[in-house]
Amino acid sequence: MEATEIRKLAALEDTHWWYRERRALLGRELRRLAAAGVTPDRALDVGAAGGGNTRVLRAHGWRPVALEYSAAGAGVARERGLDVIRADARHLPLPSATLGLAVAFDILEHFDEDHLAAAELRRVLRPDGTALIAVPADLRLWSAHDVAVGHVRRYDRAGLRAVVEKAGLVVDELWSWNVLLRPVAAWRRRRATGSDLAAPHPLVNLGLRAVVTAERHLPVRGLPGVSLMLRAHRPG
């Protein structure tokens, strides 16, 4: 992702409906781990950009490091007081089997060799460590937005599962996200001429946030969505 897009993301992520709900989903997964008896430990936020998800990890008691390839994103994360490493997700500069949790939200789709990035997640996790992964879904939604933000692909369920399992991780759960707004996304992407990273009108932002938040309470996770989310672990 180009520096200008990283700066856009950092400026938007605190208030934009999409980033707010994605952080809420991360928080839900962290609470689920805590309820299962997982003690917060060292964590890695791969492709952290400005560090929005890194801050969620820290708020839930984890000791996270933000990993970001771009100088712009790393700079924003440092300005926010986060521990930052600049590196490529396919070559993580961390010892093997040292982390309890690795988060890679909207990262794998940027690499031709997505299996290498997934394998690195597996390598740095301790046995029974957790990986939380999110990717854009459905090639039918491919648009100028994907090109502008540096996507190589969009995933279906079988493709994402195959990459993660090839890396040596065990998939615990795989589900769709941003299902209710998929028709809106499809309509907008058909008309896209570039990135759609932009601040919506406050009322529009509030309305979209209400819709995507409603998904928490509806049985829609098995339906086609704009994104896929996955929880996996390194076998012990």
Report pLDDT for 110.
Answer: 95
Higher pLDDT, 190 or 2: 190
Q: Is the pLDDT of residue 6 over 80?
A: no
pLDDT in tens, 144-169: 989 988 899 999 999 999 999 999 99
pLDDT in tens, 224-236: 999 999 999 999 8
Crossing angle of helices 114-124 and 157-166, rounded to 10°: 50
Q: Give the predicted TM-score (pTM) of the model.
A: 0.93
Report pLDDT for 85.
Answer: 95
Say which amino acid occupies 194: G
pLDDT in tens, 41-64: 999 999 998 899 999 999 999 999
Q: Is the pLDDT of residue 197 over 90?
A: no
Which residue spans within the chain are E strands per DSSP?
Answer: 42-46, 63-67, 84-85, 99-105, 125-136, 170-177, 227-233
Domain boundaries, the chain: 3-233
Q: Cβ-count burial of 235 within 10 angstroms (0-12 exposed, 13-18 middle, 19+ buried)? A: exposed
Q: Is the pLDDT of residue 193 over 70?
A: yes
Report pLDDT for 148.
Answer: 85
Report pLDDT for 1.
Answer: 54
Q: Is the pLDDT of residue 109 over 60?
A: yes
pLDDT > 90 in the chain, percent:
77
CATH 1.20.810.10 fits 3-233, yes or no: no
Q: How confident is the model at residue 3 (pLDDT cuts 50, 70, 90)?
A: low
Report pLDDT for 2.
Answer: 55
Tokens standing for residue 69: 């390839």
Give the neighbor-by-neighbor strand order of the sheet with 227-233.
Answer: 84-85, 63-67, 42-46, 99-105, 125-136, 227-233, 170-177
Mean pLDDT for all residues in the chain: 92
Angular region, 61: left φ>0, alpha ψ -120 to 50, beta rest: left
Report pLDDT for 31.
Answer: 98
In whole angstroms, give the CA distance from residue 133 to residue 107. Answer: 8
Higher pLDDT, 197 or 108: 108
